[in-house]
Amino acid sequence: MKIIAIYSSKGGVGKTATAVNLSYDSAQSGKKTLLCDMDPQGAAGYYYRIRAKESFNRKQFLKGDLEPFIRGTDFENLDLLPAHFSFRNLDIALDDRGGSAKELKRIFAGLKDEYEVLILDCPPNITLLSENILMAADMVVTPVIPTTLSILSFAQLIKLADKLEVNRKKLAAFFSMVDKRKKMHTDIIAKFGRKKLFLESEIAYLADVEKMGIYRQPVAVSAAASAAATAYRQLWQEVWRRGVLT
């Protein structure tokens, strides 16, 4: 099982849109896929029209008792573990359990025979939970809006990976919400786009992605022939190629 975390310490950069669309593309490519919503806002579950069972909360999650709470989606090969509101205190709970960065790895270990791909939609934080995410993931995919602050937060992530002695090869950034009419975007892409940690695929600023909130479906379903659907499929293929090779 490959664990792919969609992570950035910055909010609103396109993590959930990416997690929702990549999990769909992964499942479509025939891989048994689980999307795990780690964000108490529950947006990934919202897009797939799935809510957590009443009995599910942070306690079960931390015990690694996940299977009874996994829900099927409308799509073949794709399941979802919805977030619970109590996930907002996951950091404190992890801290109470000794502050280890390896808890998440243990929690997901029980799923390894069931799924080929586990995609994590992460909340925007840089905390103990982020350290756990870095340790558990085989690959950390970071959407970066081509602006100075987004680049800075990716630099922070590289620093954190170094501190935890996590191989930098696990990290992969891609430019998100790209608007080629903006000089700042084209300048930043020209400057950083060729760096090793950046993927070639980009996701442009596209209305079809915004409309996911209305249709509550991956773009490949609500707008099958759209540029957005094609762009996420390409991103998925590049992520998978890189994840398998490293």
Q: How far is the CB of 245 from ligand ATP (least distance, A)?
A: 26
Residue 166 · residue 135 · CB < 8 Å: yes
CB nearer ligand ATP, residue 64 or residue 124: 124
- Which CB sits closer to ligand ATP, 3 or 17? 17
- 72 three-state secondary structure: strand
Q: Are 52 and 82 in contact (CB under 8 A)?
A: yes
Q: Could you give the angle at the alpha carbon of 188 between the alpha carbons of 182 and 193, nearest 5°?
A: 125
Of ligand ATP, Mg ion, none, which one sits near residue 76, judging by CB under 5 to 8 A according to partner kind? none
Q: How many CB atoms lie within 10 A of CB 133?
A: 23
- State the DSSP H helix or E strand holding residue 163, giving kind and residue range, or none if neither: helix 148-163
Residue 16 near Mg ion by CB under 5 A: yes
Q: Compute the distance between CA of residue 129 and CA of residue 188 in angstroms, rounded to an integer.
A: 29
Question: What is the nearest approach in angstroms of ligand ATP to the Cβ of residue 67?
Answer: 26
15 lies in the site for Mg ion, by CB under 5 A = yes
CB closer to ligand ATP out of 32 and 211: 211
Q: How far is the CB of 209 from Mg ion (least distance, A)?
A: 13
Q: How far is the CB of 211 from ligand ATP (least distance, A)?
A: 8
The footprint of ligand ATP (CB under 6 A) covers 11-17, 39, 43, 124, 177, 203, 205-206, 209-210, 212-213
244, two tokens: 């398998």
- In the complex with ligand ATP, the residue whose CB is nearer, 16 or 23, is 16
Nearest of 29, 15, 28, 179 to residue 83 by alpha carbon: 15
Q: Which does 12 bind (CB under 5 to 8 A by kind): ligand ATP, Mg ion, none?
A: ligand ATP
Nearest Cα to Cα of residue 198 among 174, 165, 233: 174
The minimum distance between CB 214 and ligand ATP, in angstroms, equals 10
Under the rule (CB under 5 A), what is the footprint of Mg ion?
Answer: 15-16, 43
